[in-house]
Structure 1
Amino acid sequence: MHADVGRLKEHAAAAAEDGFSGWWLAQTGLIDALTVFPAVADAAPGIEFGTAVIPTFPRHPTMLAGQALTTQAVLGDRSLVLGIGLSHKPVIEGYLGMSFDRPIRHLIDYLEVLMPILADGRADYDGEAFTAHFESARPTDIAPSVMVAALGEQALRVTGRRTDGTILWMVGPRTIEDHIRPRLTEAAVDAGRSEPRIVCSLPVCVTDETEAVRDAASQIFSIYGELPSYRAMLDREGVDHPGEVAVIGSEAEVIAKIADLEQAGTTDFAALEFGRSTDEYSRTRALLKGLL
């Protein structure tokens, strides 16, 4: 589905029709997430759009600011979240041939350029990773919200100080409660910012075959057990495989797991519907609609 704009439009339209408040799209492959939103907006009225997430290394912050502001201008007063993230060393160095050196310095400098351009169209900053002496008229006075995919302590501190929150993937409730929320919130409070959003995304499946589906999830999402940043979060959670943090089980079990995430500090839950049959997909969507 992710490489087919028509199917993405159908998916967004169904989400809006079913009453969901947000529609999040990952920046992967050759589909540009920010460009998709205006293309599907008329079919999905009222819903919040968010990128989850756009890697920062391939795009200079001045370029991303312009693209995000243009997208916001087309969407009008619709809520847009610009979710960004560092990605991972194997991706940035192995696929793109770019240096992943000093990623936290990169993130700090990126936000020091990005945020003022979004806010008022200008940046005057000399950094180690990015420099920008830039001023231009903005296509809209509405600045998109900015959130960062932050997992480590340093990234959480930077994110809490400078942005509206974090976007998580493959992070369980224990880790959110004991690690993500306290560090993110402390940084936000110290910076005089409001309570940060914590968007948690996990695979969700309502099924009568919990163990089989969990094993399938662990295989499909196995890469997240190998990438160091996600491996660290799984270790904090006390699990071995990605499928163990996925929200899988009967209707009652899935409801309880989502409630655990909310109690741990999740402000927004973005479900990735997952299953091996149309029945599992249908039951999963029906349950999620029932929780609205």
Structure 2
Amino acid sequence: MTIGVALDATGADNQIDGSVRLAHEAATAGLRSAWFGQTFGADSPQLAAIVGREVPALQVGTSAIPVFGRHPLLVSSQAQTAQAATHGRYHLGLALGTKLLTEAGFGIPHERPIARLREFLTALRQLTETGTADFHGELLTATTPIPARVPGAEAGVPLLVAAMGPQALRASGELADGILPYLAGPRALGEHIVPAVTAAAEATGRPAPRIVALVHGVVTDEVDRVRDKAAEQLAFYEQFPSYARVIGLSGGRRAVDVAVIGDERKVTAEVQRYRDAGATEVVFSGTDLAGEADRLRTWALLGELAG
């Protein structure tokens, strides 16, 4: 099983330099991958390209670019550039986005997200695999009057989706290479998410999907204090039905209930639970919750488990 971390250097004086420094530390600790979220700030594929080129020991990925407010031609260009820059170590994550951020940020309606995801994946697959597209859907058109291939990215780009609901899982199993579930505990993963996406892939003759489980957690002795801090940070996600649903399926009431916070024994046991539930990769986020010392302690343990 690959074990990685989500890197967040937004508190650094220079986010790019800070991300590279953190990536070097992650590689030294024995971690295998570094992932970057997409916000209205730094461009995640560019950040992954820079970090992946500077730290060749790591796989790098985006988790995840919303399909609203973007176009497959532009995302393909970003992804292929990152793939060429890292010599095949880039992984692209897509997301449905949320009504709140889509409509408040872009001023466009968040309508028919599953249909948009399907069309986006179909057009994007053509572009990343062949450098051409001739796609005319209900919501999107993507054609290539001039070539869209980036030399050096001929191997294509793995396409993953931050999918957790039934329709998104079906679309991901049929059209993507895997999923990036977040705040989905082992119970939700093993009983609902993995069976659904695997069945969809099998029905269309696709290979078994990758299950990259994003886990919010840290190794610490100050469990109560860190749990309270995590509860504040994660409360944002509780307003969205998709997250609320998967937290409930995981046996929790609040997002913090699926966070992994404790000593080395506790975290090791939880990583094993994710493995048993079908995760092919585990990526830890929030490892800076308890401060620098516990972040390094967490990365040391995860590096051992990755080895």
TM-score by length of 1: 0.95
Partner amino acid, structure 1, of 2:201: A
Q: Alpha-carbon deviations, 1:252-280, whole Å to 9, x = none?
A: 11111111111001110001113323332
Q: Which blocks of at least 5 consecutive residues in structure 2 are unaligned?
A: 1-8
CA shift for structure 1 position 137: 4.8
State the alpha-carbon separation in 1 of the partners of residues 262 and 82 from structure 2: 38
3-state SS of 2:216 partner: strand
Question: Does the aligned pair in 1 maintain the 2:80–2:156 contact within 8 Å?
Answer: yes
**Bigger RCO (CA 8 Å, 6+ sep):** 2
Residue 110 of structure 2: aligned partner? 100
CA shift for structure 1 position 54: 1.0
Q: Alpha-carbon deviations, 1:82-122, whole Å to 9, x = none?
A: 11111111110122211111111111111121111111122
State the alpha-carbon separation in 2 of the partners of residues 137 and 100 from structure 1: 28
Residue 280 of structure 1: aligned partner? 294
State the alpha-carbon separation in 2 of the partners of residues 225 and 8 from structure 1: 28
Residue range with higher mean Cα deviation, 49-58 or 204-213: 204-213
Residue 4 of structure 2: aligned partner? none
Residue 69 of structure 1: aligned partner? 80
Residue 18 of structure 2: aligned partner? 7
Partner amino acid, structure 2, of 1:288: L
Question: Does the aligned pair in 2 maintain the 1:149–1:167 contact within 8 Å?
Answer: yes
Partner amino acid, structure 2, of 1:233: V
Q: Alpha-carbon deviations, 1:23-80, whole Å to 9, x = none?
A: 111111320111112322343113111101111112111111122112222222x321
Q: Alpha-carbon deviations, 1:194-214, whole Å to 9, x = none?
A: 111111112221122323322
Residue 59 of structure 2: aligned partner? 48
**RMSD, matched Cα:** 1.5
TM-score by length of 2: 0.90
Question: Does the aligned pair in 2 maintain the 1:156–1:183 contact within 8 Å?
Answer: yes
Question: Does the aligned pair in 2 maintain the 1:199–1:269 contact within 8 Å?
Answer: yes
Question: Does the aligned pair in 2 maintain the 1:214–1:244 contact within 8 Å?
Answer: no
Residue range with higher mean Cα deviation, 164-173 or 282-291: 282-291
Question: Does the aligned pair in 2 maintain the 1:15–1:44 contact within 8 Å?
Answer: no
- What is the correspondence of 1:1-292 to structure 2 with a 5 Å cutoff? 1-2=9-10, 4-76=15-87, 78-135=88-145, 136-140=147-151, 141-272=154-285, 273-292=287-306
CA shift for structure 1 position 165: 0.4
Q: How many residue pairs are counted as aligned between the two chains?
A: 291
State the alpha-carbon separation in 2 of the partners of residues 145 and 26 from structure 1: 17
Q: Percent identity?
A: 34
Q: Which blocks of at least 5 consecutive residues in structure 1 are unaligned?
A: none
3-state SS of 2:133 partner: strand
